[in-house]
């Protein structure tokens, strides 16, 4: 059986520099981030970027993959929380914080994850978040803490919208929590 090829040290360094630069550029510019800016900040050529990450989505997955895994692990852990309503609230706040990490870039890319041109790894991240949220929501619905009419896709869209809105007014540090309280109250309607 063939062993996967080990990456040369210089290639591994270039990949790490690209990831570090992308995190900074995405955090600063979000959906307006330029791949050229990432290449410049990393000090490599465009070919190096595309050799490691053939698309924006593959670069994004490399950055958020561990965060998505942690978010889903948190959600699975919350399935044993004694209060299903509180479990959903805690997880939705974690989702909102995740959505704001790169100034809307994660949310916009996740929103298009069902399209045909979406990287399968990005779609898998989206599916994992939806599955975790669905399990938490279903548990809350079974305990009467959420209306049976609530759909996880709608709920995640609403949380992403709240996250986006809170990013637009950074001087209002409490806005995200107020908006999430409205989301939480609407779950019971």
DSSP string for 106-165: HHHHHHTTTSTTS-HHHHHHHHHHHHHHHHHHHHHHHTTSS-TT--HHHHHHHHHHHHHH
Arithmetic mean of pLDDT over the chain: 88
What does the pLDDT read at residue 11? Answer: 84
Find the domain containing 13 and state its range: 1-54
Residue 57 structure tokens:
């989505």
List the one residue out of 142, 137, 155, 149 whose CA is nearest residue 75. Answer: 137
* Domain end marker among 13, 39, 54: 54
My answer on whether 72 and 151 are in the same domain is: yes
What does the pLDDT read at residue 66? Answer: 86
Task: Compute φ and ψ for 8, nearest 5 degrees.
Answer: -60, 155
* Domain end marker among 54, 73, 94: 54
Reported as a single tens digit per residue, the pLDDT across 18-41 is 999 998 998 888 778 889 999 999
My answer on whether 35 and 59 are in the same domain is: no
Burial of 81 (0-12, 13-18, 19+ CB in 10 A): middle
My answer on whether 124 and 76 are in the same domain is: yes
My answer on whether 21 and 77 are in the same domain is: no
Q: Is residue 187 over pLDDT 60?
A: yes
């Amino acid at each position: 059986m063939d062993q996967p090829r080990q990456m040369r040290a210089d290639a591994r360094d270039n990949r790490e520099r690209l990831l570090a630069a992308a995190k900074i550029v995405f955090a600063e510019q979000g959906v307006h981030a330029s791949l050229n800016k990432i290449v410049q900040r990393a000090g490599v050529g465009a070919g190096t970027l595309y050799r490691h990450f053939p698309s924006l989505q593959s670069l994004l997955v490399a950055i958020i993959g561990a965060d998505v895994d942690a978010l889903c692990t948190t959600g699975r852990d919350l399935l044993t929380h004694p209060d299903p309503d509180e479990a959903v609230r805690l997880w939705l706040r974690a989702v909102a914080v995740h959505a704001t990490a790169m100034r809307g870039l994660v949310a916009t890319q996740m929103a298009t994850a069902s399209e045909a041109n979406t990287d399968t790894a990005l779609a898998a991240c989206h599916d994992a978040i939806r599955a975790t949220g669905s399990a938490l929501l279903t548990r809350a619905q079974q305990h009467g803490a959420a209306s049976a009419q609530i759909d996880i896709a709608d709920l995640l869209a609403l949380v992403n919208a709240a996250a986006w809105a809170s990013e637009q007014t950074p001087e209002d540090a409490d806005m995200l929590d107020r908006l999430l309280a409205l989301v939480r109250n609407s779950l019971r309607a």
